[in-house]
Amino acid sequence: MPRRQHLLLFSIAMGLLTTLAFLTLERTASSSSTTGLDPMGNPSEPLVARSDDGTVVLKLLSPRGPYLFGKQRVEVEVSLPSGDQVKTLDIFLDGGLRKAFTAPPYALEEDFGEEIRAHSLLVMVQTREDRAARLSWISRPASLQGRVEVSLVTVSVAVLDPEGRFREGLSLSDFILLEDGVPQTLVHFDQDPTPASIAVALDASESMRGTLWSAQKAANDFIASLPSFYKVCVIGFSDSVHVAREFTYDRRGLSYAVSSLKPAGGTALYDTLEAATRQLAGRPDRRIAVLFTDGGESLYTDDQAGRARLSQSLQMAREAGVTFYTIAFGPHSAAGLLQRIAEETGGAFYDSRDPSALSSIFESIGHTLNHQYALSYYPSRPLAEGGWRSVTIQVRDPGASVRARPGYLAAH
């Protein structure tokens, strides 16, 4: 076997072992009793740990996970047998002692920063009658790549039945993934909601005067309904493109940014595609853009230069791994163009003629983002070779359809 193939097989094997080790660590890091996750990815019950004799019980009241970001409260509850008392209770964060307690409440406030990263939490309690218990937990990073290695590729997939309803309860064996037509070995599968960066781009052109308020209300309801670990930015566009709010978890600030948009000017749709892509490029999690407009491109005409500008913007979005969900509003919107943008980036297109339907459309987009499978694999062709890689995903169900981005650009 040529040396190059030996090295490739060794790299893949090491990647698989690293992935398995990481997943095992995630499953066994906590000494708690088993606990499930609710539909938003949060534990349905608090994490619990007990002393060897079972009489001392540690319960993690908050955070409820699975992600740590921003300012959060760390709080622990201790149950003791009659007559015993807590001697010391220590809380360690990321390997360092954060605070030592001798009496309740056992709580502290911690700022975990703006980005979602893996953090370790260890709680140790010692009682006056020499009983001891420890509870440990590792929060999840925004993406598996951050904990394993950059050669891992993750693709988000929505699976729908013939009636357009999401297919839930699928397993790893139900999927077949091909890269450039070559079957790949899937090494990780996740069906819980994972972090996402979402750019909400709203048309604030003059033609929206009188109806912009309905789009603003629907967009604000959409943002408020998203899981807390989704980071959002707001983009307004007319003749020019303006980032009204950078990426943040602050739902109140995002609502203010959406509500502050005022109608004026034309529709710089192609520039908005590029601006949303630039905002999302390099983000560590799922990259989603929600684009709403009642018109079409007004700065470029449908000539060779205009078509080249559109192709350039779409290519940039595909190479950056950005998925667009587009909403055409009203009778004069460029439905065909918006449908093309969605299809070429692995998203979905929605056509709305009625302002009252906007809320249900935004709700449908949120439902889609919360019902996706994450499939990860190590490409059989090294990423170092670069170039565009097409990705095709199949489901072992002839009646199901798959929605996913068409590929990715491998970095040199």
The pLDDT, as a whole number, for residue 44 is: 53
The residues facing 237 across adjacent strands are 203, 241
* Site of tokens 């440990």: 136
**Token pair for 7:** 């090295």
3-state SS assignment for residue 115: coil
Q: Residue-wise over 298-333: b if at least 16 C-beta within 10 A, else e?
A: bebeeeeeeeebbeebbeebbebbbbbbbbbbbeeb
DSSP assignments along 143-211, one per residue:
SGGGTS-TT-EEEEEEEE-TTS-B--S--GGGEEEEETTEE--EEEEE-S---EEEEEEEE-SGGGTTT
The pLDDT, as a whole number, for residue 38 is: 52
Domain formed by 196-369, architecture: 3-Layer(aba) Sandwich (3.40)
User: Strand 186-190 vs strand 407-410: parallel, antiparallel, or unpaired?
Assistant: unpaired
User: What does the domain layout of the chain look like in residue ranges?
Assistant: 32-138, 144-192+374-410, 196-369
Asked if 43 and 36 count as a contact pair (C-beta separation under 8 A), the reply is yes
Q: Can you give the length of the chain in residues? A: 412
What is the C-alpha to C-alpha distance for residues 234 and 227, in angstroms, rounded to an integer? 17
Closest-CA residue to 233 (of 199, 260, 275, 277)? 199
Task: Give φ, ψ of 163 to 5 degrees.
Answer: -90, 5
User: Strand 348-352 vs strand 322-329: parallel, antiparallel, or unpaired?
Assistant: parallel
Task: Quote helix, strand, coil % in the chain, to nearest 5.
Answer: 30, 35, 35
Cα distance from N-terminal residue to C-terminal residue, the chain: 25
Name the amino acid, one letter, at 347. G
**C-alpha torsion 404→145→246→70, nearest 10:** 120
Asked if 74 and 89 count as a contact pair (C-beta separation under 8 A), the reply is no
DSSP assignments along 20-55, one per residue:
HHHHHHHHHS--SPP--B-TTS-BSS-EEEE-TTS-
The pLDDT, as a whole number, for residue 151 is: 77
What is the C-alpha to C-alpha distance for residues 184 and 99, in angstroms, rounded to an integer? 47
Which long-range contacts (C-beta less than 8 Å, at least 24 apart) are formed by 101-105?
A: 104/78, 105/75
| Opening angle at CA 251, ends 362 and 351, nearest 5 | 15
Asked if 32 and 123 count as a contact pair (C-beta separation under 8 A), the reply is no
Q: Based on C-alpha coordinates, what's the Rg of the chain?
A: 24
What is the C-alpha to C-alpha distance for residues 151 and 378, in angstroms, rounded to an integer? 6
Task: Give φ, ψ of 138 to 5 degrees.
Answer: -120, 120
Element (H, E) at 279: helix 269-280
Closest-CA residue to 122 (of 86, 74, 70, 53)? 74
Assess if CATH 2.60.40.10 describes domain 32-138: yes
Q: Look at the pTM and tell me if it is higher than 0.75.
A: yes
Task: Please list the pLDDT of the chain residue by residue as tens digits (412 residues).
Answer: 554 444 444 444 444 444 444 444 343 333 333 344 454 445 457 889 999 899 999 999 999 878 888 999 999 999 999 999 999 999 999 888 899 999 999 999 999 998 888 888 999 999 999 999 989 888 888 775 444 445 788 899 999 998 888 998 898 889 999 999 999 998 888 888 889 999 999 999 999 998 999 999 999 999 999 998 999 999 999 999 999 999 999 999 999 999 999 999 999 999 999 999 999 998 988 999 999 999 888 888 888 998 999 999 999 999 999 999 999 998 888 999 999 999 999 999 999 878 788 999 999 999 999 999 999 898 999 888 889 999 999 999 888 999 999 999 987 5
Sign of CA dihedral 217, 221, 224, 230: negative
The pLDDT, as a whole number, for residue 139 is: 85
What is the C-alpha to C-alpha distance for residues 333 and 250, in angstroms, rounded to an integer? 31
